[in-house]
Amino acid sequence: MMHRRRMKMPDGRLIEPSADALALFLAEHQLAAYAAPPPIDLPRDADGLSSRERDYSTESFDIRKLAGREVTVFGAGSVASHLIYALGPAGLSINVVDPGTVQARHTTGGRTIYDPTQVGLKKVYALKQKIEREFPGTIINALPYHTAEIPDSQIKSLLSRSLVVVLAIDDPDQIIRIGDLSYPTTEFVQPAMHAKGESGHIAVCVPFVTPCLRCTLGIDSAKDITRLDSEPANSLDIAAVAQQAARITLDIAYSKVTGQAITRWDTSKNLIYITNTKQELSPDGPGIRFEGSRRRPGCSICDNLYGRMKGTENE
Amino acid sequence: MNNEKITVTARRTRFEPPTTNALAANPASPMVLQGVMQILAGLDRKVDALATRPPQEVALPAQPKAEAPAETEKPQDTTALTETPKPKLRINRARLLSFFD
């Protein structure tokens, strides 16, 4: 026999609570209101993604496939900061190496992506603050070191983990050093702005596909490079070159993740020249030009890689 | 002046006026008037018929085909032989070596 539970009222009476019709009705409908809606079986594509999950991706490019992948960017100056901002939506894990500090002049006129509240902060931390706030999912691994401080072994470790390396620094010695260390290991992209920002270039080096950075730029040593400090330039021109470099970086990363061939540009043409004005190569206005490079006979960097390849074939 | 030869036939007999219908010969007779009125009415019908006729298609006589002019030889473009082709513009790599980041 089941005993009904009694409830003591404030005046001392014991009452036997009875089921209230209204309470029962509300309880039932409350459950119904909070119940999860039945799942809608949306049509799924070959990758098992529904149209709701796919969002704005196209058949050839779904940016979410890059989420969590690692890339490394050397530099956090004007080109690098705009470039990293452009990479933001991809949700990458980005190692950023730069020892610099945000100064007031960096925050005016859109020269970089830093804002006046970040003056005095290390650039890599300012990037982390801004990018991780604006692009949830993207991770900035802030490395506030000068590239010269990092030994070769650690640089190689960083490179081997990265899908792509971006070399956006202006120290000639370190450009050559990172270029030489990267070439046999991973794909790298070297964007740079020329005098007054009237043009820029992106050198793309892909092991076994293109020559090394030295051959691409036609240089023998760091002495061949001239560094332009505090060069006046239109910030939009800097952002235009950075955007192109970011797009190429994503193309390479996407190709490595998905195995899908790059068809947007001819990958054998690894020197990309971007004009921001009317010039001899682009007489009608701003433009972009792709040009191939040749491996120079006797290049120790190229020969090292191709020699290794031949050795592997002979085995 | 009319150059036609005029022949005059001499009448050997006495002149007698020909017998004519007096009624018909009278220009003011009702028959003459009626005839004139009929002619006018006939003319009126013809004018109306001309005014309301459909446009006429004029069949032009077949014209002999004009012979195509004989092809003259085009003057040969000799500029390609005389002028050296412009070298393809290439990126001046020396200009890429002064840069900032």
**Where does the pLDDT of residue B89 fall: very low under 50, low under 70, confident under 90, or very high at 90 and above?**
confident
All residues at 6 or more sequence positions from A261 whose CB lies less than 8 Å from its CB, including other chains: A255
Q: Can you tell me the distance from the alpha carbon of A283 to that of A275, in angstroms, rounded to the nearest whole number?
A: 10
Query: Which chain A residue has the Cα nearest residue B99?
Result: A194
Residue A278 pLDDT exceeds 90: yes
Residue A194 pLDDT exceeds 70: yes
First to last CA, chain B: 114
Residue A36 pLDDT exceeds 70: no
Residues in chain B: 101
Give A-chain residues touching B95 at CB under 8 angstroms. 194
Residue A2 pLDDT exceeds 70: no
All residues at 6 or more sequence positions from A302 whose CB lies less than 8 Å from its CB, including other chains: A183, A211, A212, A215, A295, A296
Q: Establish if A193 touches chain B: CB-CB under 8 angstroms.
A: yes
Among the residue ranges A79-88, A286-295, B28-37, the one predicted with the least confidence is: B28-37
Q: Which helix (H) or strand (E) holds B89?
A: none
Q: Can you tell me the distance from the alpha carbon of A218 to that of A224, in angstroms, rounded to the nearest whole number?
A: 9
Q: Which helix (H) or strand (E) holds A95?
A: strand A93-97
Are the Cβ atoms of A228 and B100 closer than 8 angstroms? yes
Report the pLDDT value the prediction gives residue A116, as an integer from 0 to 100. 96
Cβ(A247)–Cβ(A69) below 8 Å: no
ipTM of the complex in this document: 0.75
Tokens representing residue B44 in the block: 């009126």
State the best of B86, B91, B92, B100 to mutate against chain A, taking most chain A CBs within 10 Å.
Answer: B100
Are the Cβ atoms of B97 and A226 closer than 8 angstroms? yes
CA distance B97 to chain A (A): 5
Q: Can you tell me the distance from the alpha carbon of A295 to that of A313, in angstroms, rounded to the nearest whole number?
A: 20
Residues in chain A: 315
Are the Cβ atoms of A75 and B96 closer than 8 angstroms? no
Cβ(A92)–Cβ(A138) below 8 Å: yes
Report the pLDDT value the prediction gives residue B35, as an integer from 0 to 100. 76
Report the pLDDT value the prediction gives residue A126, as an integer from 0 to 100. 97
Among the residue ranges A140-149, A248-257, B27-36, the one predicted with the least confidence is: B27-36
Question: pTM of the full predicted structure?
Answer: 0.68
State the best of A226, A276, A294 to mutate against chain B, taking most chain B CBs within 10 Å.
Answer: A226
Q: Can you tell me the distance from the alpha carbon of B17 to that of A28, in angstroms, rounded to the nearest whole number?
A: 142
Tokens representing residue A180 in the block: 């030489």
**Where does the pLDDT of residue B33 fall: very low under 50, low under 70, confident under 90, or very high at 90 and above?**
confident
List beta partners, residue A95.
A72, A141
Q: Which of residues 38-97 of B touch A (CB under 8 A)?
A: 89-91, 93-97
Phi, psi of A295 (to 5 degrees): -70, 125
Q: Can you tell me the distance from the alpha carbon of A310 to that of A87, in angstroms, rounded to the nearest whole number?
A: 36
How many CB pairs below 8 Å do chains A and B form together? 62
Handedness of CA A258, A260, A266, A269 (dihedral sign): positive
Using CB atoms, pick whichever of A193, A200, A281 lies closest to residue B89.
Answer: A281
To the nearest 10 degrees (0 to 180), the angle between helices A123-134 and A78-87 is 20
With vertex at residue B32, the alpha carbon angle to CA B28 and CA B33, rounded to the nearest 5 degrees, is: 75
List, in order of start, the domains of chain A with CATH numbers: 63-314 (3.40.50.720)
Q: Which helix (H) or strand (E) holds A274?
A: strand A271-275
Give B-chain residues touching A231 at CB under 8 angstroms. 100
Residue A79 pLDDT exceeds 60: yes
All residues at 6 or more sequence positions from A65 whose CB lies less than 8 Å from its CB, including other chains: A254, A257, A258
To the nearest 10 degrees (0 to 180), the angle between helices A235-258 and A78-87 is 50
**Where does the pLDDT of residue A309 fall: very low under 50, low under 70, confident under 90, or very high at 90 and above?**
low
